[in-house]
Structures are given as C-alpha cells and as structure tokens.
Structure 1
C-alpha cells in the first residue's frame, strides 16, 4: 500500500501561524530587554546591599573519638579471668544525647560566663567579640531566676567606666558594684587581655535558660560510618567563642565521665573490702577446725601410699572444688544484690553467671545513676520519671537475681553428677580412714577460702590502680577549628536576585499581555473584525514632529504609509458598484476621541491630491469637536459647514478654502459649533451639498464624529461609498469594535474598512524604520538605518522585534 505524501496546505499554514505567534511572543519579551536589565541590576544591587549588612556566621568543628567504655569499668576486672567477658560498647546515640544534654551545656555556659554577650559597634555591621578580646568583663551578681535581659553601652577610660542603658547613665569604676534594671553588676579586669585602656562596646546580659536551649539546639553532631569518631560542630559569629565552647564541652563531658567511673570504682573497692574481711574470719575458722581435728585425733599426716589409688578421685574432687567455688561466689553475689537499695550501683558479676548477667548489671547501674542524677537535680521520689526508673531498676534487679538462680541450678546439677561419679570412683577405698575424709573436707574449705581471699586482694590492687589512672572518655583527634563563613552564602542571594530580576519582569509582561484590552498590532485587529479589509497601517510620528502638519509628496515612511492606504482603498472602491461619473465619498470615523481620525482624514486627502488630474475636498463634519483648522493654523470658529447649513441662501464656494500645504486640496471646515449639530447633519441641505460637490470633485473625504460617542455619523453614513474606520494602536479598546461591525450588519455603514493608526515600529508588520527611496535607476538607493546588535542577532534566528 502506497503512502500519500501530499502535504495538507492548511496544516502547513497552521504550523506557520503557530511558529509566527511563538516568535511574536518571544519578541514581546526581548523587545523589553532594558526592563530585564534594569530589574536584574536592581535586585543584584539589593542583594549586595542586604548581604553587606548581614553578620557573617562561621562553622567551628572538633573531631573526637569516644573510647570503648567497657574496657575501663573497674568492676569488670573481677571477671577478667572468667573467659566469658565480652567487649561492651556504649551506644553512640546515647553518648550523643549526653553531649547535647541540658546539664552539660549548662555547665559550659556557667564555666565560660556566656550569659554576657559583647558587641563592637561598626560603621557597617556590629560584630560580636569574645570576652578574651576585651580588657574588662561584666559580672552579674543577680540570681539566674531574677535576671532580666539588659543592654548596656559601655565607654571606658580605665579605671573610669561610663554605662548607658536606655535613659539611665552611670559612672563607675573597676570592681565597683552598680545597679541597673533591678540587678547588681560590676566590671573586673580581664587577666587574658590588658592591652587596651580606652574604648567602647555593648554588652547584653540575659538569663542563661534561653541561651542554654539555643546553644543546645545549635550543637550538631555527626558520626562516621561504623566508627566511634564523631564531629561536633557549632555555628557562630565569633570563632574564638564557638571554638572555646566546643573545647569546654569536651572537657566537661570527660569530667562527668570520670566522675561516673570513679563512683563505680569506689563501689567495687567497698565490696572487695567487705568480702576480704568476711573471708579472713572464715579462713581463720577453717584453720582452727583443722587444728582441733588433728589434735583431738592425734593425726600428723595421712598415708602417702593411697595417693596413687585416689588420682581419679582427686581429679573429680578438683572439679568439685571449682564448682563449690563458683557456687559460693554465686551465693555471695546473690545475697549482696538482694540486700542493695535502689540508690546504690552494683559491682560487676563475680559469679561468672554469663554475659546476660553482666549486661543486666550494666543496665541496672545505668538506671540507678540516672535516678540518682534526677534526685540530685531536685526531683523527688514521687516524680513520674523517678517512679518509672525505680520500677525499671526493680525489674532489672529481678532479672539479675533470676540469671544468678539459673546459674546456681546449673552448678548444683553439675555437682550432683560429679558427686555421683566420685562416690563410684571411691568405692575401692572405702576402707580408708574416716579421718581422711574429714581432713580433706577441711582442706577443701580452706583452699576455697584462700583462693577467694587471694583473688580479692589481687582485684583490690587492680581497682586501685585503675582508679588512679582513669583516662578521658573522649580523645580529641582534631582540635577546634573554624571554616567559613557558612552564612550568608552570597552566591545564593545573587542567584535568587538574578532569578527574581528575571521572573518579575516575565510575570509582569505576561500579566500585561494577558490582561491587555487595547489593539496593538494588525493581528489584534484582524482577530476582531471578521475578515474586513485593513487598508493601512500608519506609523507613529516622531514626538518632535508636529502632528498637525499634513504629509507631502516626499519619500518618508509616513507618506509611504498613506500612499499604501490610498492604493488599498482604491482597490476596495474599484470593487464597489457605484456611479463612476460622480466623486467617491469616503467617510472617515472612529470609535472614540483621540484615535487620530482627523489626522488620517487630512493626510489621506493630501495623498489623494497628489494624483494627477484628481480634485479632492475634505469636509469637517465633526462639528461638535472641529480639528481641521489646526492643520491650516487657523482659528477654531472659521466659517465652514455649519455656517453654510444654517444660511440657506449662501453659496458653498464662499466657505471652501484651499489648503496651504497643497493647493490641489480644498477644505470645508466645520464652522462654528451649533446648538443642534445632529439636526443640521440630518437636514436635506447637507445631502444636497454632498451631491453638489460630487459633480465638482473626484474625491470627497468626510471627517465625521466618533461613532460610539454621538449619533451624528449614522445620519450621514448613507451618503458615503466607503467607510474608513480609524483605530489607534495601544489606544482603541478591543470591545468597541463590535459597534461598527453591528452597524454594517444593520446597513448603517457602507463598505466598512479599517486603518490602524499610530503603530510603533515594535508592533508594525512593515519596516517603517527604513527610508523608501525607490530609485529604479534614477540615482536613488535604499538606505537602511543601522539596527542595534541584539536586533541583528535575533533576526538571524528568525525573530523580528518589529512583529
């Protein structure tokens, strides 16, 4: 099947029209490039001015490593030989919350005395300074709950100080107390800066609560992937201040961490000392029992010959010894845990119950310390959080006891098995003296007590050493440093200004184009007149040019436009069925005043007068607002049409004047303004006048009144062969054009044609900016004006700014 390759001409035309409209839409914006340029420059200037007065903000950072706290817990040293200890890493998220906690930040604020803010006044912007940059500092003696924000202007010439706060002015000296705003203050020497003795600054004293919350929210902490390395950052206007805050925050955190560790070490030492004292008494008792047994039974030593026979039994007894040791530790630790109050932390599990017990003890101790911190900060036992913590502590304690009980049950079960095996293995030695069994029981008890005693002595020394060499929990990797400024980012402001400078004109032009209700271009007119002919486009005259001067037979763009209009009208007239022996009557009218109707009438008449052998007369029938006399520089009340219509016996010739600009043109001025203009134009005498002039002239141009304002034109429109309807670019409302169209439909206007007046070069479809010097071999050439670069550039892409 063959494909039809014939293109539809209507589709081609539609595509061409769309392309033309697109180019015209683009040209509407490009024509206004100065507006865009001015807008962009204005907003860029505003952005520059705005950022100039913004205080720069810098970012300070410190990179630290949070060490593995599980390796430094003193209580865990008791379990180092158990083989069940595993590494315990504190939750990084918990550490981050601790670093940003209100309590820690409060200590930083108090230690650095951040409740006072010092500001140096500048010519452009005010700059915050840190206390180390000033020779004197402010001390507020008022309790924090009573502090109110107070701003003071300080001028000093040490030791004299002048203070201004609002309407209050105080003269004081260093270390001398003064009162402002019901608060007590004094200034003291800064030991870190004593270079300047004269100067001024502003200090703002404020309550620490708001500052703490603001600082707490301003601290940002980022962690590295799968690492305990974190970066703490803080933004501020003064890098010395923010770096000091970060350094102090790390110091305070380490100080609190050491305090918590020391508390746990102290509890471990206390527990070990208690157990050593108990074991010392128990060991003495076992040794005394052994001595009594040997003395009462006169036994010095057991026979060595049975050693070989009981090797297996010894192995089992060794295992029983270990089990008994673990059972004793479990019983002791369980008893200790059971007797501890809710406010005391526990030592780590010494019974080797397993990792679950160690984890439970760690959780229990953390909950106890949180409760103790709340109680220390003023919370009561009835506080909801305290109650919740106590409930959690009880639950954790029960969990520990449960784990220990399970471990004890496992040990007892294992011991029963070993005891059964020992009984079986010892059957062949049943003949051994009862004294052997009793002696070994005593020795076993003595060995248990001695091993526990030596273990506790070793752990006591290790705990003491660890307490003495406790390290910081945070290790500084990179000390505090600052970068920036991070705000304001001027490029963002400039980009925003550039975007705003483009978008606002775009939006304004778009809205203007969307809402415009005036005719601007030929296309606008064509869309409204339903295919009626447009016979001319008259370019806008130079503002220096007198609009009342008629065109001459030169080669100017204005004259050329009228000649084109004349040619087009001649074509329209040639299609009209009329009596060719009589003059053509052209009625010139418009919608409203100010559209250039008389200007068009006069110049069109002069253009007709340039035709060889043709006589033309123009009649000023706009007798309510006569304008023709201005083109001839005559008085307004010069006798004319109204005088002729009023004096029935007068001859029209006595009222006809020859134009000063062109003696081929005759003019019948409007005359004096009558009280009854409509009745005069409706008179038979006016109709007879037109018939009489048709016999003498070739063209009669009637300059009539605007159609929308008065009804005068309707009464004479039937006398015209052609109606030339004048519209004005950027002036004539679109909605008034339905009036002439409806009038023609009702046969109240004859052969309606349109002309677009005062069209600018930007809206013209013709290059009126050129001189039309058609030499055709007579020495004349086409002279083009020098077009701007942007017009020549865009024309290469098919965009004509004159469209």
Structure 2
C-alpha cells in the first residue's frame, strides 16, 4: 500500500540527493576528456610562450624637493626669490604631470618611437630597437601606412627590396609610395635581413605608452616618486624613462624662467621711465643754478626745505604706491593677455602681497595644466575658479588701499600748502631752487631702489634650478615579468582540468535520458528484473543472425540473458508464462530482448512461442528473417487457425514465432475483439512460455489492451535513450497496478568505466570471458562519437 501512496513530490525530493559515488562515476566515464584537453591546452601554452615576447619592467625614482627656509641675508633673498618664482609643488600634481599626454608625445618625437622595426626568428617576433639593419626617416605617412606594415628585405650592404617586389633599391633614397614619403638609410650590422616596419601615430603611441607607465608614491610621508615602465625591449624602456625625466625637468625650468623673465621686463620698463625723469630733473637743477647763480641757502630756507622734502618724500611715496596699485589693478584686469606681472615686494600691504603671490602661483599652475590637460579637466576648472575669486579679492583690496592712499595724499598736500606759505618769505629764486632740488632727490631714491631689485631678479633668473632630483637611474628587471611561465603552465593545466569538468557537468545538466539503475528505481519504484549490456559491434536495431545470441556464446550479454531467464521464476508467484514486452517509445530494444530471451529459454529446453503483436510497425520478421505475409492479424480477424501461421525460427527447434502479419487498419479494435484471450488460452497448453512483442505503451493503447491477458509485463528502459520523463509513466503504472507483475529490464547498459558496477560471476567479472574482453576495447573515436552524439 505504501507504493500506491508515493507521488511525484517524493521522487523530486529523492532525485535531488547528491551522490558522490554517482558524480565520481560520471567523471570516470568521460576520463579520456581530461588527457585530451590537457594535451591541447599544454600545447597551446607551449606555443604561446614561444610566440610571446618577454616583457621587462624598468623602474626609476625621483625626489620632488620641498621649500626650505635659510637664515641670514642670503636666506631672505633666496626665500623671496623662491616665493616669487618657485611656487608650491605637491606630489599629487607632479604625478599627474608625469602622465600627461603632452610630455609623452614629446618623448615619442625625440626618440623617434613612431617608427618601430621587428623581424621573425622562428615563431617569435624580435624587436630591433637600436639594432635594426635599416632606418627610415618619415616625412609624410598615409593612413594606409599606419594600418599596414612595410616589409623591407636587405639584399646586401647597398641594396634592398620592398615587400614581395623584385626591383632593387639603394639606400639614402627618397621614396613615394602607398605608405607615404620617407628616406631609407643603412642601419646597424645585423644577422637579420627581413625587417617589418610599423608606422604609428604619435598620439596613439603616446596613449599606449601611458597605459604602461605607472607613477606611484612608495611612502606617503616622503616626496619620492617611483616611475615604472613595461616594455619588451630593455634599452627602449630605459630610454623612455630617461627622456621622460629630461622633458619633465626642462618643462619645469621653462615655467620658472618664463615668470622671472616677465618680472625683469616690468622692472626694466619702470627703470626706463625713472631714468628719463631723473635726467630731466638734473638738467633743471643745472640750468637753474647757472641762470640764477645760486650757491647757498639760508638756515631758514634750509629748515623749510627739510620739512617740505620730508613731506614731499611721503607724498611721492604715496603717489608711487597709488601708481603701483593702478599697475596691479591693470595687471589683474589683463592677466593672461601679455600683461607684465607687477613686483609684489613694492607693496607694503601684507594681505595684497599674499593675494598677488597666490594669484601668480595659480596663474602659473593654470598655464602648466593648460599645456598638459584638456580644457574640461576638473583640476583646470578648479584653478580657473580660484583665479576668478583671487582676482576679485585683489581688486577689492586695491580699491580699499587706493581710497586710503587718497586720504593720505590729501593730508600731505594740505601740509605742503602750509609749508609753502612759510616759504613765501624766502626769496623767489631760492624757493624755486628748493623745488627743483626736491624732485631730484626723490627721483634718485626711486632709481636706486629699482636698480637693486633688478639685480636681485637677475640673480634669481640666473640661478634657477629644478625642484626635483634623480635618485636612481632606470633599472630593469633581470627576468621578464610577462609572460609568467609558471602561471601560464599552471593556468593551462588548471583549464585542462576545469574545462572537462565544466563540459561533463554541462552535458549531464542538459541530458534528459536515463543513465543509471538508481534513476529507474527512484522514479518507478519497480523492481529491475535484469540488465542487458551492449553487444560487441551490434546495435539493437540491426536485424539478422548477428543480433541473436548463440547458445555457445560466452559473452557478458549472453550471461545476462541467462540471468534474466533465471529471474523469470521470481515474477509474481513464479508461474508467469505469458509475458508481454513493451516500452515508452520505439527503439528501446523490445524485439531484441524478446527474441534473445526466447532463444535463451529454448536453449534451456523450454518450448517458446514469440508472438508479434506490434500490428503498427512490426520488426520481428526482419530480425528473425522469416516471411510476414500471414500472422497474428489473420488470426484475430478469423481468417484461420493460429497453427496455420506459426513458423519455426531456425534458431532452435523449440523456438517458434507468430509474426504480426499484414498491417490492419484498426489494430486497437482488432486486439479488443475477444479472439486474443481465446488464442492465448489454447497456446498455454502447447508452450512453456509465450512472449509477446507489443507496441510502445507511451505511443498507443495497444499494450494496455494486451496487458489484460498476460501474466507479467516487462517494461524496457534503454540506457542513454529513454527520456527521464518517461520513467514517471512507469511509476504511475506501478502505483495504479494497471499492469500485472510489472518489472523493468534495463537495456543497452554501457559497462565501461563510469557505470560503476557490473555483475561478478564466481569471483570474476565479465572480463573473464574472451568475448567480453574484446568488447570492452573502445577506440577514442567511438568515445568522442558517443560524447558528441549521445553524451
């Protein structure tokens, strides 16, 4: 009663249990995939290592100097010059500059890397950097030249050929062809005569180099940068790093010299103006003394003169500061349009000095990043925003200072007015002379101040040095970093194991056919009466004598049929003599098993009749090679007695057959007309066993009609052929008890490695028999065929 209560849910739960033994058997079944894939992938790894160019890593390090404060007058001057022209460097900014497209493009142009030379040495491609037997000086390269390489064959020391052409050319000639305009010159002495020339656009090559350049800061607390470059040619990698450092340093020096040059121009312009004014004043003094004959000034006039001079000096200083503030305002308004930068040391206000210094630094950074980055770079936009804010702050500060200077100027002018009133008592000539002399003293003081500043600026300009220092020259690794042989071999070996595993699991995930005895038992809950293996060289569907086992056969399949014959006594109560063979679909081996089981019973001295009741697609007559003009269909329609249609098979004297006969138009009605049970009742008295080859139960209802009149039903399930869903139909039949004494025969089982077990026989496996040992030998081709076709 328990079997009747089993349902599909129980099957689902049981079928999902993982069995390690089944999984291992599954892998062992396809063991040959592992050596195949291992051989393929290890061979591919070998050729990959032969073809791939080894890549080396070259490393150099550079120190980004920090600002240092010095003591004494020299320290004050250098600190002032550093604040004017040095700017503030951050390690992060310098890291980005090292990886700028502009610097790398300049490296490519100076090293002529846009033209590369390679040759073949067996399977490997060799880079001929600095060792090429020919060199090309390109003038114009076409799009075709950038896409297709140019092959040059060196014939001798003076001649060469292009590609596959036969025409000889001499070196140092200018050529115009599909690749462009260029000159071919003689290179280094080399054993290679075939050279492949690759032209690459500077921009594309620079991007490629940037992808292989790494700039890192090994220690966050230091300002040392470590630059690494990977290349297949060691010398080229060293040259690229050296040239990159040279270009970086030269770019930094150019920025500093540009700022110092602008300051010198500003001072020179101011000196030119003051020099002219001072000359005019001195000429006025000379002319006045000559014309008026003045040689001395009285004590009173001297006192007024000193007071007025001191007051005028302050007034002139105020005017100068106002002028400087106007020049600063003009510079801020026209910054970036060629305006001369003002000198910050001529302004007393510390806030304005700080703002101007910050503005100059930001302007310098903006010019630097504008050369190395795109206009949409977030860093450049941030600097532009800071420049705008700083410009606005400077203008507001200048306006405030100018207003304060204007008040001071008015106060000083008022004091001058009071002192001038006191001078009215001084003779006119002496007063005029004092005014001229006062202007001369003021111009002299300003002139000397500008001369001093010009010398300091010239000294700073002459002593400009880079803010970085090379620590380690480029050093390359002794062993290549790519490809890593151990990793390649290990990866190939791992893939040789993983791919077959994935393939085998994928095949079993996609398969939908029966593979093991356990699957039948889990789903159907029916007993398996026997297992039939594959016969050597015989497919179940092949007709003729080769598909019938001989009595003297010692093969494993023959023994299995003998075991099946023995197991018939366990069907039902042991008295089952009329047995029907059916299956889910055609081709599962009903006819093959029924014929051979009948033959085996006949060999055991049993009288056996095999009836072909597959009235829709009969095959028994073809397998037994007997005529099928008349048969069971004639009996069922009443055209004669069964004795008139029974034939001897020729396999054994006690083995008879009743073929299906002509195919009727209504097989189901014919089987249910009542004549079948009468015929079987009469045959029971004449034969020990009656075996019925019926149609597939899964396709038509004929088997259900026949099953009502038989003692037992043997349901055929074929290995790797029967669909798993069809097993549920057997389970339904078992639970519903629709077929009496239902058992399963597992047909076509492959007992090769992976099925997991076989029947031992007296301590020996089937390999004990000579025929079986031969049948177990399978070629690799047959295994692959099964894998592709039925795996």
TM-score (norm 2): 0.69
What is the DSSP-based 3-state SS (H/G/I as helix, E as strand, rest coil) of the residue aligned with 2:198?
strand
What is the DSSP-based 3-state SS (H/G/I as helix, E as strand, rest coil) of the residue aligned with 2:344?
coil
Other-structure match for 1:8: none
Other-structure match for 2:588: 595
Spell out the pairing of 1:117-516 with structure 2 (5 A cutoff).
Answer: 117-130=116-129, 132-142=130-140, 151-157=149-155, 159-165=157-163, 170-181=167-178, 183-190=180-187, 193=188, 195-196=189-190, 199-215=193-209, 219-224=213-218, 225-276=220-271, 298=296, 327=318, 330-337=321-328, 342-352=337-347, 353=349, 354-364=353-363, 400=394, 402-406=396-400, 453-483=447-477, 485-489=480-484, 497=492, 500-516=495-511
1:201 Cα offset (Å): 0.9
2:690 aligned with 1:701 = yes
Other-structure match for 1:519: 514
What is the DSSP-based 3-state SS (H/G/I as helix, E as strand, rest coil) of the residue aligned with 2:173?
coil
Q: Residues 718-772 of structure 1: CA distance to partner in whole angstroms, max 9, x if unpaired? A: 4422222232222334455677788899998544332222334479999424223
Are the equivalent residues in 2 in contact too, given 1:555–1:773 (CA < 8 A)?
no
Other-structure match for 1:584: 577
Structure 2 unaligned segments of length 5 or more: list them. Answer: 1-9, 415-421, 539-545, 765-772, 774-791
2:51 aligned with 1:53 = yes
What is the DSSP-based 3-state SS (H/G/I as helix, E as strand, rest coil) of the residue aligned with 2:254?
helix
Spell out the pairing of 1:624-639 with structure 2 (5 A cutoff).
Answer: 624-626=618-620, 636-637=626-627
Decide whether aligned partners of structure 1 residues 101 and 69 sit closer, same or farther in structure 2, where only a CA change above 3 A counts.
farther
Alpha-carbon distance in 2 for matches of 1:450, 1:215: 59
Other-structure match for 1:669: 657
Alpha-carbon distance in 1 for matches of 2:177, 2:356: 60
Q: Residues 464-498 of structure 1: CA distance to partner in whole angstroms, max 9, x if unpaired? A: 34433432344322223334644445566556655
Alpha-carbon distance in 2 for matches of 1:523, 1:97: 67
Alpha-carbon distance in 2 for matches of 1:47, 1:239: 24
Alpha-carbon distance in 1 for matches of 2:754, 2:138: 78
Decide whether aligned partners of structure 1 residues 104 and 713 sit closer, same or farther in structure 2, where only a CA change above 3 A counts.
closer
Are the equivalent residues in 1 in contact too, given 2:155–2:161 (CA < 8 A)?
no
Other-structure match for 1:3: none
What is the DSSP-based 3-state SS (H/G/I as helix, E as strand, rest coil) of the residue aligned with 2:357?
helix
Spell out the pairing of 1:11-30 with structure 2 (5 A cutoff).
Answer: 21=19, 23-25=21-23, 27-30=25-28
2:112 aligned with 1:113 = yes
1:204 Cα offset (Å): 2.8
What is the DSSP-based 3-state SS (H/G/I as helix, E as strand, rest coil) of the residue aligned with 1:355?
helix
Other-structure match for 1:794: none
1:124 Cα offset (Å): 0.8
Other-structure match for 1:549: 549
Alpha-carbon distance in 2 for matches of 1:729, 1:629: 21
Other-structure match for 1:796: none
TM-score (norm 1): 0.68
Are the equivalent residues in 1 in contact too, given 2:646–2:657 (CA < 8 A)?
no
Are the equivalent residues in 2 in contact too, given 1:367–1:389 (CA < 8 A)?
yes
Other-structure match for 1:570: 570
Are the equivalent residues in 2 in contact too, given 1:602–1:628 (CA < 8 A)?
no
Other-structure match for 1:728: 718
Alpha-carbon distance in 1 for matches of 2:142, 2:686: 109
Alpha-carbon distance in 2 for matches of 1:169, 1:399: 75
Match of 2:60 among 55, 59, 62: 62
Decide whether aligned partners of structure 1 residues 364 and 744 sit closer, same or farther in structure 2, where only a CA change above 3 A counts.
closer
Q: Output the aligned Cα RMSD.
A: 6.0
Alpha-carbon distance in 2 for matches of 1:713, 1:369: 93
Alpha-carbon distance in 1 for matches of 2:723, 2:343: 94
Other-structure match for 2:767: none
Alpha-carbon distance in 1 for matches of 2:178, 2:439: 77
Alpha-carbon distance in 2 for matches of 1:189, 1:358: 55
Alpha-carbon distance in 1 for matches of 2:368, 2:705: 107
Structure 1 unaligned segments of length 5 or more: list them. Answer: 1-11, 307-312, 380-385, 421-429, 575-579, 775-784, 786-803
Are the equivalent residues in 1 in contact too, given 2:274–2:446 (CA < 8 A)?
yes
Count of residue correspondences: 706
Are the equivalent residues in 2 in contact too, given 1:598–1:703 (CA < 8 A)?
no
Decide whether aligned partners of structure 1 residues 347 and 220 sit closer, same or farther in structure 2, where only a CA change above 3 A counts.
farther
Decide whether aligned partners of structure 1 residues 197 and 458 sit closer, same or farther in structure 2, where only a CA change above 3 A counts.
farther
Q: Residues 68-121 of structure 1: CA distance to partner in whole angstroms, max 9, x if unpaired? A: 58999xxx9879579998984135555455444454344333322233221223
What is the DSSP-based 3-state SS (H/G/I as helix, E as strand, rest coil) of the residue aligned with 1:117?
strand
Alpha-carbon distance in 2 for matches of 1:713, 1:565: 22
1:202 Cα offset (Å): 1.7
Alpha-carbon distance in 2 for matches of 1:93, 1:627: 91
* The 10-residue stretch of structure 1 (104-113 or 497-506) with the greater mean CA deviation from structure 2: 497-506
* The 10-residue stretch of structure 1 (113-122 or 764-773) with the greater mean CA deviation from structure 2: 764-773
Other-structure match for 1:768: 758
Decide whether aligned partners of structure 1 residues 361 and 721 sit closer, same or farther in structure 2, where only a CA change above 3 A counts.
closer
1:62 Cα offset (Å): 3.2
